Amino acid sequence: MGIGISMKAQSVKEAQQPEGILTRTDSIGMPSEKRVKEHLVFLRKQIGEDRKWLSREKKEMEKAKDLVLKMEKELLRHERGSSVVRLGRSGQKESNERRREYGKV
């Protein structure tokens, strides 16, 4: 079946260019320009919401880190100022003073 189609090489070359393919909205199965614009508006709005969420989460993480650091400093300060009882390797209680005697602190 010989179907004769007359096309110029330039027409074929233009049809194969990515810019032409991406900007063409009149072919079958392609969304209309209106729908593409609607999608862009929706996606931009979604990105804005996601950025706000991410910003809030980062702030919460920073607060949590600050709280952990504060708690750690408080524990270290408290530990230095008191006689904390710990279990040694053998399972016996050792006070900080006793551990200092043996150079374990």
Tens-place pLDDT, residues 57-102: 999 999 999 999 999 998 888 877 765 555 555 555 555 555 566 6
Mapped onto helix, strand or coil, the DSSP state of residue 93 is strand
pLDDT tens digits for range 1-31: 678 888 888 888 887 888 777 776 666 677 7
72, containing H or E segment: helix 33-81
Q: CA 51 to CA 57: how far, in whole Å? A: 10
22 located within any domain: no
* Range(s) of the domain holding residue 92: 30-101
Number of domains in the chain: 1
Residue 67 lies in a domain: yes
> Which token pair is 90?
């053998």
In a domain, 74, yes or no: yes
Report if residue 34 sits inside a domain: yes
